[in-house]
């Protein structure tokens, strides 16, 4: 059955996906890449054209806008991010639409060996008859999170044109650099001005998430002793060898992403850079509980100290820094936005799913900074890789959910006053 928003959502995602807006963790600028302005400037223009108010590109490179309220109610915020993940190629995206998916294997025109199979991806098997969007096999699609962008723009356009829903003020924000953990600064709660908010950055239809990892970053620097290899006996200290010892000493069988799931945390080596004289190891530390996260940091420091002790002529330093915290720590004290979304989801005939996010969202940091912000589904699947895909009909469900949430927020205010 076709939804009233299907075609608009398809058109928007296809149009946004071809715009390269990948972020870059190594860049110190905000946003980390200038190409993100191609999305930010476009969205600023489109919001103005559809009649949104207070449209602004903030000093933190966030596009914010207002949909004026038509009834008393709390100010509800919605966020999506414009950057795509740096883990895989995102240049030259060629989106394609598969109308009325027939339930078989999906192949990719630019990589004949790549196959997306419903036998391996059970959620795909449920989407027979849906309209699916994928890329061509050599790039990301970028549904993470241009699906969220498409959903929010569709919602905004509908609310500004139609008066069918009574709602309070709505604030929309499109952030850069979410994929590298820099999309939300301490200024955003003030710029957003919402009583509570939702990120549109989830996956399976029905997901309403209020728990994420807590996250730290670790950077280990190793200074060896450099000398000509022909004269190196008893003098050289090879930093690359010490780096290898550190990586090998970390618990690989029990505490890496590839061997953990559910509520298990991990230590993940993301980068090894340098040579025999100097090396740098970058790691990310993840767990749902702070004591376990702190224990991970202690373990990394202990490994560094142990390797340092084997070679006192080297210099090994380890710096651990804060990234984001589990939004559950704050949301469990006031579940109002979560309960609103769950009630709206059930009224649509979808049983809400609340599982811990093995990652983080802009909502993790926004909640930490004072604006409660759970995460809602978009439908995106197989993110951060060439088999990324999404159902247009799932995106339509997410759009309807957002509309229902703002209506219920206003209704709850009216009921409390009555």
Which residues form the catalytic set? 83, 178
Asked whether the beta carbons of 9 and 395 are under 8 A apart, the reply is yes
What does DSSP assign to residue 361? -
Phi, psi of 68 (to 5 degrees): -60, 145
Token reading at 69: 């309220």
Nearest to 381 by CA among 21, 116, 13, 128: 116
Burial class (CB in 10 A: 0-12, 13-18, 19+), 415: exposed
Cα distances (Å, whole numbers) of residue 126 to 122, 130, 139, 198, 244: 7, 9, 25, 26, 44
Asked whether the beta carbons of 392 and 409 are under 8 A apart, the reply is no
Q: How many CB atoms lie within 10 A of CB 211?
A: 20
Q: In angstroms, rounded to a whole number, what is the distance separating the alpha carbons of residues 65 and 188?
A: 13
What does DSSP assign to residue 222? E
Phi, psi of 116 (to 5 degrees): -100, 110
Cα distances (Å, whole numbers) of residue 302 to 291, 299, 310: 16, 5, 13
Q: In angstroms, rounded to a whole number, what is the distance separating the alpha carbons of residues 359 and 326?
A: 9
Q: In angstroms, rounded to a whole number, what is the distance separating the alpha carbons of residues 178 and 71?
A: 32
Please report the DSSP string for 352-393 in residue order.
Answer: -B---BSS--HHHHHHHTT----EEE---BSTTSTT-EEEHH
How many residues would you count in the chain? 418
């Amino acid at each position: 059955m076709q939804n009233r928003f299907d075609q608009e959502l398809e058109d928007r995602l296809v149009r946004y996906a071809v715009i390269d807006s990948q972020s870059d963790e190594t860049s110190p600028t905000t946003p980390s890449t200038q190409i993100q302005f191609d999305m930010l400037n476009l969205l600023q223009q489109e919001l103005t054209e559809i009649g949104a108010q207070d449209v602004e590109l903030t000093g933190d490179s966030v596009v914010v806008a207002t949909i004026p309220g038509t009834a008393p109610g709390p100010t509800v915020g919605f966020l999506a991010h414009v950057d795509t993940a740096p883990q895989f190629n995102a240049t030259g995206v060629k989106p394609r639409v598969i109308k009325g998916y027939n339930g078989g294997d999906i192949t990719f025109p630019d990589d004949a060996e790549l196959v997306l199979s419903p036998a391996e991806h059970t959620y795909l098997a449920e989407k027979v008859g849906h309209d699916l969007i994928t890329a061509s096999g050599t790039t990301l699609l970028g549904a993470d999170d241009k699906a969220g962008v498409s959903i929010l723009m569709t919602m905004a356009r509908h609310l500004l044109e139609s008066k069918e829903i009574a709602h309070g003020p709505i604030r929309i924000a499109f952030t850069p650099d979410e994929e590298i953990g820099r999309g939300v600064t301490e200024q955003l709660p003030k710029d957003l001005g919402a009583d509570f908010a939702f990120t549109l950055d989830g996956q399976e239809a029905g997901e309403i998430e209020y728990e994420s990892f807590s996250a730290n970053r670790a950077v280990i620097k190793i200074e060896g002793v450099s000398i000509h290899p022909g004269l190196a006996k008893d003098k050289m200290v090879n930093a690359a060898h010490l780096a290898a010892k550190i990586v090998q000493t970390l618990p690989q069988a029990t505490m890496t992403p590839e061997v953990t799931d559910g509520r298990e945390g991990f230590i993940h080596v993301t980068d090894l850079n340098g040579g025999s004289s100097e090396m740098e190891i970058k790691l990310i530390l993840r767990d749902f509980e702070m004591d376990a996260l702190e224990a991970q940091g202690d373990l990394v420091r202990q490994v560094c100290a142990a390797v340092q002790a084997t070679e006192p002529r080297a210099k090994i330093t380890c710096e651990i820094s804060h990234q984001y915290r589990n939004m559950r720590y704050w949301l469990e004290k006031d579940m109002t936005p979560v309960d609103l979304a769950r009630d709206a989801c059930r009224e649509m005939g979808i049983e809400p799913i609340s599982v811990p996010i093995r990652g983080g969202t802009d909502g993790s940091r926004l909640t930490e900074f004072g604006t409660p912000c759970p995460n809602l589904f978009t439908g995106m699947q197989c993110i951060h890789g060439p088999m990324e895909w999404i159902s247009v009909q799932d995106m339509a469900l997410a759009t309807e959910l957002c509309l229902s949430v703002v209506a219920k927020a206003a209704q709850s205010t009216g009921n409390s006053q009555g």
